[in-house]
Each structure stands twice: as structure tokens, then as C-alpha cells.
Amino acid sequence: MKKMFFVSALGLISFSAFSQDAVNKAMVDQLRKDKEKSDKGVSDPKASAKASFWMDRATTYSSIASQSSELDSSAAKTAFESYKKAAELDPKKAKDAQKFLTGEDPSLFNAFVRQGAEKYQNKNLAGALEMFQMAQQVNAKDTLASLYGGIAAQQIDKKEEAKTQFEKYAENGGKDPSVFYGLAQLYRAENNFDKAVATLNKGLERSPNNKDLKSEVVNILLASGKEDQAIAELTNLTKSDPTNVQNIVNLGILYDNMNTKLGTKIKEIQGKIGGGASKTADLTKKLEAEKGKIEIYDGEIKRISGLIKKAPKPDLKRQLADVTAKKKESTDAIVAIQGEIKAAEEASKGNDNAALEKELADLKAKKTTANNEAITAYKKVLEIDAANYDALYNLGVFYFNEAVELKREVDNMSMTDYQAKGKEVEGRVCGRFKKAKPYFEKAIQVKDEAEAKENLATVNNVLEQFAGKQVACTEE
């Protein structure tokens, strides 16, 4: 979050201590005397019954707030209450008092802002917030007090009040992009992503070319899981600013991540399509094996029983008991496997294979697009900046992962399949690892990162193994 803007914003108002020359000392002394006289008058029934007394008191305290806060750091509040009292006591004075209370005369508003800023600088953030809030009672349409009120509220972690203040700033026509950025961060922190994006877009209406706001729209769309929208926004950014390398890198990363997620989803769908039939086939093989055991056990039982009839030896009876027990184990296993087969068949009935096949085709098409867009983005970055570490490293990882996926295909082959096409696929695996190698090498030249070095070591090791097996690398 860009708190540095908010922290420093109050530095725009500078308050230098008055030099204690004779003129200023006399002014402070006079204000002190006026204050003491006014304070005594509050307890005087005759004086305090007159609207003119409260108007004078308001003027005195407004002057203290504007010129000598050391006499009363909250003098603006007293001035505000005094104007209100004068208006209550005398309708004739109400018009004069209302000029100050409504901001027509800005002196009271300025007094609140000044004393609020002074409290902020003295680390009295709660007091500062109160002053800025009261300044808004005087002039609800001004952006200054709402801006500073939001800053103070944010610093004391009053998030709801900070949002309220910054929203007022925006409603009143405030334009500073940092405020919209900060407000969006407050909404993002509570996972209110739609409001965060709306806030950023409102900021962009007032600062159309602000790169921070545009980039943060993308970040929040990603955080909220709206990758397609994030890609659309980032694509627009790359078109409006085609030499911004970081935007293009980020676009490549988005497509790269999408490619990976689609790959995972494709495997899930493939598992659903082939899972039922494959599982049933495996269970059927187990069932046939157990039935085969029964035939063997029956033969043994018949043979041993015949021997016992001829000579009932204890050892033969023990062998018969063992074989009978094993036959029972196989019989129980057959019943269990038959139950599993039935369950697998029932489960596979729930799959709409036609729909799954269509979904699989759509996912594969999207993956191909994401795959191509990621590579295109990374290569475009390298056209602009041949030493861009992120693009070099990510391209290396991209081809590395493709090699790993192909290697998994080889590992899952049956001996028959391997003899038919194993060597050809291994050549492609080798080719992918070989393609990744120069990107890792160049990335390490740019930045000596452990991750890239480890990946390069793995690639070199794999390529050595392929060379030892005399596998020819097929580069595509």
C-alpha cells in the first residue's frame, strides 16, 4: 500500500514557529488577554446572554487557532461552538455567524485545517482526525479536509473512517491518483474486489494515463480470480505502452499460469473419462487371477484328500488345512472384487462422456492458445531487452516443464508402446531440455540466482544421460 504518499501529504502545509520579536510577542500577549477575558465572560450571566459576546469569543478563538495555537490547540472548536451559540441567541447575528459556520467566510474552516495539521505533526492523530471532521462540517464540499481526515484515520488504523473520508474526497472531485490507489487497497484488504476495481476506474477517469492505477486494476483482477479480465486489461496496457517491458512480462506470466492450470484441468477430465473403464479393466484382471487360484487350490485339495484316504498322516492334514484356508481367502477376495467392479461400473454411469469429451477439446484449444501467447510475450520482451532475467528464466522453465510432461508420457508407457514409439518421444524430451538450456545459461549471466543454476544443473545432467543412452535430441 502506498502509505508514503499519505504520510507525507500533510507536509504540504508548512507551519513555521513565529519568531519571538516584539510585534509577535505583543500579538500573542494580546490574544492571551482576550482569551482570559472571554473565558471569564462565559460565567457572567449578563455577558453570556448576549449574542455579541459569543461573536467576539468566536473571533478571539478563531484568531488563536490561526495565529497562536500554543494558547489553545483546539481553539477552532471553541470558535465553532461560539458561532453556533450566537446564532441561537439572536436571529440578527445568525446571518453573520452562518458565514463562518457554512464556510462562506473560510477563516473558521482554515482554522480547523491548520490545527488538525498541527496535531498530526505532533503525533496526536485522533485529535487531528477530529479537527478535519469538524472542518467538513463547516465546508462539506471541500477536498482538503477529507483528504487529511482520511490520512489521519488511516494512520490510526480506523479503516472504516479512512474509507469514508477518501470517498468524500472522491465525491467532491478530488483527483490525486494516490488517494484512489490507497482507497482501493483498503477495499482489497477486505476482499471487496469489485469495489476496489470500481475505485481504481474512478481514479482513471480523472487520471487516464496513470500507470500505477492501471497496473493495480490487473493485480486486483488476478487476486479475485478474474484472469480473463486481467489478461484483457494487461493486453490493453501493452498496446497503449508497447515498450513497457514489465507489462509484457506480466502478460506472459498470466498466460503461463493459465497454461499450467488448464493442463491440470485436462488431466482431471481425462481421468474422469478413462477412469471408470480403466479401473474396471484392472479389477477384472485381479478377479480372473483369483479365480485361477481357486482352480489350483481345488486341484490341491482333491490331490491331498486322496492321499489322506490312503494314509491319513498329520502332515497331509496340515497341508489340507492350509490350502483350504487359502482357498477361502481367494473366495472372499473374489466377492470383494466383484463388489468393487459393480461400484466402478455404477460410478462410470454418472459420467456424461460426450460432454466431458467436448469440455476436454475446449480446454485443449485454450491451452494451446495460452501456450503460444506466453511464448510470444516472453520472446517479445527479449526483442526489446535481451538481458531481461524474468523472460529468460521463464522461457527456460517453460521448455523444462514441457520436457517433464513428455518424460512422464514415456514413463507411463507399456513395454509394447515403448518399443513402438518410446525412442521417438525420448528424442523430443531431450530436444525440449536442450531448448531450455540456453535460456537458463543467459539468465544466470544476467543474475546469479540459485534457482536458475539448479535448473541448469538438472538439464545438463539429463542431457548427459540421454547422450549415454545414445538418444538423438529432436528439436521442434
pLDDT of res. 131: 95
End-to-end C-alpha distance for the chain, whole angstroms? 45
Question: 80 near 54, Cβ under 8 Å?
Answer: no
Question: 274 near 354, Cβ under 8 Å?
Answer: no
Its sign, for the CA torsion 204, 182, 159, 106, is negative
- Mind listing the pLDDT tens digit for each residue in 84-129? 999 999 888 888 899 999 999 999 999 999 999 999 999 999 999 9
Its sign, for the CA torsion 275, 278, 279, 280, is positive
Measured in degrees and rounded to the nearest 5, phi and psi for residue 242 equal -65, -15
Distance of CA 330 to the CA centre of its chain: 56
**Which of 397, 382, 383 has its CA nearest to residue 435?**
397
pLDDT of res. 125: 94
Longest dimension (CA), the chain: 138
Instruction: Name the E strands within 2-71.
Output: none
With 0.75 as the threshold, say if the pTM is over it. no
Can you tell me the distance from the alpha carbon of 345 to that of 275, in angstroms, rounded to the nearest whole number? 10
Its sign, for the CA torsion 432, 433, 437, 439, is positive
**Which of 325, 224, 249, 337 has its CA nearest to residue 290?**
337
The segments of the chain whose pLDDT lies below 50 read 1-20
Question: 104 near 98, Cβ under 8 Å?
Answer: yes
Can you tell me the distance from the alpha carbon of 200 to that of 6, in angstroms, rounded to the nearest whole number? 17
Can you tell me the distance from the alpha carbon of 129 to that of 132, in angstroms, rounded to the nearest whole number? 5
pLDDT of res. 21: 57
Q: Which three cell numbers stand for residue 67?
A: 495565529
Question: 62 near 79, Cβ under 8 Å?
Answer: yes
Written as one letter, the residue type at 356 is L
Number of helices (H) and strands (E) in the chain: give both, helices first.
21, 0
